[in-house]
Amino acid sequence: MLRRFALALRFALREEDFARILSAAIALVLVGTMVYTFGSGWSLVNGFYFAVATLTTSSIADPDLTITDAWLKVFTAFYVLVGIGILVEIARRLGMGFIAARKDMAEAKAAKKHGGSEAS
């Protein structure tokens, strides 16, 4: 599975703007981590955890991590709207990479089988 993921990532990185989208996702997580860490007075780990859990809508809730300030709630609403779009695009590109990798592997297997039968 890890090998297939690496192949899919390689195919996705060939696309012109995938690296920018991936960079935007990383930047978004970093911004969210900093905002939640400093805005709520949490540790860096808790800020990172909350930022990632919020973006992935994983519903893994720590009852000790709640936002109460209105500005943080507004930030979170926009954070989710922007972040989910970016993550969906990354998932779409990786999915296309999985399909391309599978196609290449099937073609290579067919070529090997075809080449092997000619040698007989």
| Most confident of the following: 68-72, 100-104, 111-115 | 68-72
Catalogue all structural domains in the chain, each as residue range(s) with its CATH number.
21-99 (1.10.287.70)
pLDDT band at 74 (very low <50, low <70, confident <90, very high): very high
Radius of gyration of the chain (CA): 20
Contact 70, 80 (CB under 8 A): no
pTM of the model: 0.77
Q: How do residues 23-72 score in pLDDT, each as one tens digit? A: 999 999 999 999 999 999 999 999 999 999 999 877 676 788 889 899 99
Contact 86, 29 (CB under 8 A): no
